[in-house]
A and B are shown apart, each in its own frame.
Chain A
């Protein structure tokens, strides 16, 4: 059982790191602003979420895990809202999303 939890936790941590990297690559490589914040969003939710889940599995049933759970809830609620706010502000300031025709 212990080994299983360890394995699950490391899987979560590594997957989370992977998603963080994917988000970072996306931020740098994607063509326009709106697709870039989509890349950043991966880091905030999936990346951080999986890392924290992995840490919770490491912590076991302790106060630390409870705190981590609160941080996770907080992140899951705030990060998409922040991304939404940035996108909204960009749209309001007149930035047009790039569509398939422009890219060619």
Chain B
């Protein structure tokens, strides 16, 4: 029996070593390549490898987010950005010795620091001794949600998640402010583009591809359905608002890629998408205020219903929905502005 266990741990070690080695190789390759298109694809691979490592560490929620955000949406946004800028990195061959020394010293200090860190996956590491045992022991009683990650994110650490949602809201707002002003001033100088010309300059290669149109029509409803499943099943399995929002937005991005941004904007008018960016955050804050009015603290969900765990369920449902709406709307909005900008 003990032989069997050591066998398994050896296998896990091997998987870790292989994954981490490929991760380092990919990271070096990202730095070395001059073609930005290649760098973006390699970054996607990097994220997917990270997701695999998170899965071997049993952090499926994080892996899910990394795969959806890092490997999925970020790659698409990077590619959309590349269509606006140059494809090649500017060649810079100046070597500075001071830079080399600073990098070596900092790197050496960091490696020296890792000597004091607990071993990889050590159960006695300080991070597993502090608040984690309390969450693991008490959260089924206190929150009553099977997925502990969700109860930590949405209930114990509700303030942090509110902060994260605000960051996404701010990012969406910034993209809007930066890119919209530019578009308006250009519209004033040049004649405004008609829908016809932008449509034709859009992805008409893809729009006339019968196979892609048929398959996207088959898959977009399934993607949306899966996003809703991830959203509302987040209490019971891996998933939650962040992942669901990204997957929901991915369906719209796919639609825009195949039918053109103009067509996607007819389905989801940008003015309305912008409202939803704010609406999600307001739903989150509103849930907090509701618990305040019900006699508890801000974001203390257990006062929302007669039974404490029932109140927690309601609170988590609403704030996850708020996160999902904000994330989905912010990503759709960002994609519209990035992808629409080169063509307008």
Contact = CB atoms under 8 A, between A and B. Distances in A.
Contact of B206 (A77, A78, A85): A85
A78 B212 CA distance: 10
Nearest to A89: B205
B205 A77 contact: no
Contacts of A89: 205-206
Contacts of A84: 209, 211-212
Chain B binding site: helix, strand, loop or mixed by DSSP?
Answer: helix
A88 interface: yes
Nearest to A92: B205
Identify whether the interface residues of A are mostly helix, strand, loop, or mixed.
helix
B209 A77 contact: no
A77 B219 CA distance: 10
B211 A77 contact: no
Nearest to B212: A85
Q: In which size bucket is the chain B interface?
A: under 10
Contacts, number: 21
B212 A81 contact: yes
B215 interface: yes
B211 A81 contact: yes
Contacts of A81: 211-212, 215
A90 to B, nearest CB: 10
Contacts of B215: 77-78, 81
Interface in A52-88: 77-78, 81, 84-85, 88
B209 A85 contact: yes
B218 interface: yes
Nearest to B214: A81
A92 B207 CA distance: 13
B23 to A, nearest CB: 18
Interface string B200-234: 00000110010110010011000000000000000
Nearest to B218: A77
A85 B211 CA distance: 9
A78 B219 CA distance: 9
B205 to A, nearest CB: 5
Contacts of B212: 81, 84-85, 88
The 3 closest A-B pairs by CB, nearest first: A92-B205, A81-B215, A84-B211
Interface of B: 205-206, 209, 211-212, 215, 218-219
Interface of A: 77-78, 81, 84-85, 88-89, 92
8 contacts: A77-B218, A78-B215, A81-B211, A84-B211, A85-B206, A85-B209, A85-B212, A88-B205
